[in-house]
Amino acid sequence: MNTSRITAVVRKEFAEFRRNRFVVMTASILPVIFLIGPTAQILAIKATTASAAFDRRVDYSLFLPMLVSVFVPAMLAAWSVVGERDQGTLEPVLTTPVRRAELVAGKALAIFLPALLISYLVYGVFFAITQLFAVAPAAAAVRHAPQFYAALVFIPLLSAWAIGAGMAISTRANDTRVAYQLSILSSLPPVAVAALFSFNVITADFTSAVLFAAGLLVIDCAACFGVSRLFDRERLVLGTRT
């Protein structure tokens, strides 16, 4: 693996994101919604709010921002290969010495890093606002919620899942719209498991959280290898394998 080629791909992807305001704007909508909604829920809690409703709101508020780490990278990953093929830029790149693993790594990193940044930013802003402006019990509940700290660990793992699945679909899809739809769908299974933990359907303890994280990590590593194998020049050029 040539790191300077990976860096070249990352730089190019970042430059394209920066120049394409439409991509930046659409990618920002979801984080803003998932920041405003949960923050408002916590700020709406009064000291007199009943305990059950209180707990539900905290669970819900801590779960929703986690979706940012899945849906934003899923959408970007869905476009990454099929989009380039549609605009005719992929074929010239494939005729350069860049290896498929380098191209996959570069594209994945260019999605992973901003996804991570945005996700942590959403949680950071949520945490800051709730600690500053929420009533004391609500602020304390957020501060002491195990889901909050678990989310910090799960964000990169969920993002990696979404990117792996999204890129795998993007290498196989012949249509950008299909890639978007399948990519979002493929992100749902780990989100569903995370939701079961967040809403205490599955009682979360340290061991189960570690097992879930380890399982995700293994799947993410397998996805990296799998996407690289799927990144077949012939399929990418023709849209099909002969």
Partner 1 sequence: MGAAIEVSRLTKRFGARTAVDDVSFTVQTGEIFGFLGPNGAGKSTTVRMLCGLLAPTSGEASVAGVPVAADGGESVRERISVMPETPGLYLKLSVAENLDYFARLYGIPDRAARIHQALTAVGLAQRANDLCGVLSKGLRQRAALARTLLNEPQVMFLDEPTSGLDPAAAHEVLTLIGALRDRGVTVFLTTHRLDEAERVCDRVAILNTTLRTIGHPDELRQTLFSRTLAVITAAGLPDPEAVFKGLPSVTSWQQVPQAQPAPPAGALAGYLLAVKDPVRAAPAVTRALVAAGADVLQIAEQRASLEEVYLQLITGEEKAADRSGEKGALR
Residue ranges in contact with partner 1 by CB under 8 A: 2, 4-5, 7-9, 11-12, 15-16, 19-20, 87-100, 232-234, 237-238, 242
**Residue-wise over 152-187: b if at least 16 C-beta within 10 A, else e?**
eebbbbbbbbbbbbbbbbbbbbeebeebbebbbebb
* C-beta of residue 19 within 8 angstroms of C-beta of residue 11: no
Report in angstroms how near the CB of residue 27 gets to partner 1 at its nearest. Answer: 15
Nearer to partner 1 by Cβ, of 36 and 237: the residue is 237
Nearer to partner 1 by Cβ, of 11 and 46: the residue is 11
Q: 136-144 vs 146-172: helix axis angle to the nearest 10?
A: 60
Nearer to partner 1 by Cβ, of 131 and 176: the residue is 176
Distance in angstroms (rounded) separating the CA atoms of residues 102 and 174 = 22
Report in angstroms how near the CB of residue 199 gets to partner 1 at its nearest. Answer: 42
Report in angstroms how near the CB of residue 240 gets to partner 1 at its nearest. Answer: 8
**Long-range contact pairs involving 235-239 (C-beta distance under 8 Å, separation at least 24):** 235/171, 235/172, 236/81, 236/85, 236/90, 236/94, 236/171, 237/85, 237/90, 237/91, 237/94, 239/85, 239/174
Report in angstroms how near the CB of residue 6 gets to partner 1 at its nearest. Answer: 10
Report in angstroms how near the CB of residue 224 gets to partner 1 at its nearest. Answer: 18
Nearer to partner 1 by Cβ, of 8 and 193: the residue is 8
6 phi-psi bin (left φ>0, alpha ψ -120 to 50, beta other): alpha
Nearer to partner 1 by Cβ, of 89 and 208: the residue is 89
